[in-house]
Structure 1
Amino acid sequence: MTAALCYGLPAVWQADAQILILGSLPGVASLQAAQYYAHPRNQFWPLLQQLFGIDVSLPYDERLAALKQHRLALWDLIGAAERRGSLDSAITPASIQLNDFPALLQQLPALRAVWLNGGTAAKSWQKLIKAGLSLPATVQVFALPSTSPAHAALSFTDKLQPWQQAYQQTLAIHTGES
């Protein structure tokens, strides 16, 4: 018996986005709420509050507006896949349908960095690169620890540090400092 085919959420972006944050595939709580990172223990929004001052207590639509004001874009690498439950490890690899990144990337001329939220996102990104996706030399890619509650091996502080480093390096790229 195969698992149900799960479909991701639409991309959140504006043409002036400088950072594209990519997850793998929304979990059950996020899909049911039709909101990115809706699980109450997911640390995505608390991390963005620390990095960008986006208040985690704001209604979802206001958090998305703040995300765009900070020139951030948000999407997932996997557009659809078979999966039972929310764990990335439950995704059936042969069923993975990646999102159309070449089309999105053409819409983001100011892009400076791609932040990959977790190991599954990083593996899916590598598949895109091997399939011929290319980025301008000015765009850096950062593989970051997952914000998922399933990735409990790292504390919030331990996750925050590499996210802060990616932010600082992205700022350096933007300002021309290295």
Structure 2
Amino acid sequence: MANIFAMPTDTYEQKKAIIRKRHLALWDVIHSCEREGSLDSAIRKERVNDIAGFIQKHTTIRLVICNGKKSYELYQKHFQNLGVSCVYLGSTSNANRSIKENILYEQWKQTLWEALGYGNKTM
């Protein structure tokens, strides 16, 4: 997101500022799980966060973007009936080598800009 919005991310506060300034929310689908290693395919016994409650509390949420296949699968399994659009984008994890970084960047940029109403304009 730092590259997409051309904002610094040297500190945790700067990272949070990107999210707040653009009126975005960032939350993991998984609350807790068991996993050996870092691959999503190794996730077992997952418990999901209360995304339904979060969306009910924050009624202006129009779009959920899932960062990776496992996130999308879990969202669809537990939250597909919330009435909020959901899109899957390739994982930004370093473990994801199936999509070239520049292609991944463009996918995220286009989706975020459209969701925020920027279209093809620069920010």
TM-score class, shorter: 0.7 to 0.9
Give the C-alpha shift of residue 107 in structure 1: 2.2
Name the CA distance, whole Å, in 2 between partners of 1:148 and 1:65.
21
**What stretches of structure 1 of length at least 5 have no aligned partner?**
1-47, 174-178
- Name the residue aligned to 2:121: none
Give the C-alpha shift of residue 160 in structure 1: 1.1
Give the C-alpha shift of residue 104 in structure 1: 0.7
- Name the residue aligned to 2:101: 156
User: What is the RMSD computed on CA atoms of the aligned residues?
Assistant: 1.8
Give the C-alpha shift of residue 70 in structure 1: 1.4
* Alpha-carbon contact 1:52-1:70 (below 8 Å) kept: no
**What stretches of structure 2 of length at least 5 have no aligned partner?**
119-123
- 2:32 maps to 1:80: yes
Inter-CA distance 70–79: structure 2 relative to 1 (3 Å threshold):
same
DSSP 3-state at the match of 1:81: strand
Please list, as runs of the form range in 1=range in 2, the aligned pairs for 1:53-132 lying within 5 A after superposition.
53-56=6-9, 58-92=10-44, 95-129=45-79
* Residue-by-residue CA offset, 1:122-158 (whole Å, 9 max, x unaligned): 100110135xx412xxx43210000001101222111
Higher relative contact order (Cα pairs below 8 Å, separated by 6+ residues) = 1
Report the AA paired with residue 51 of structure 1.
I
DSSP 3-state at the match of 1:111: coil
Name the CA distance, whole Å, in 2 between partners of 1:129 and 1:66.
26
Name the CA distance, whole Å, in 2 between partners of 1:51 and 1:97.
31
- 2:87 maps to 1:142: yes
* Residue-by-residue CA offset, 1:76-113 (whole Å, 9 max, x unaligned): 11111111122111111xx1111111111122222121
Question: How many matched pairs?
Answer: 118
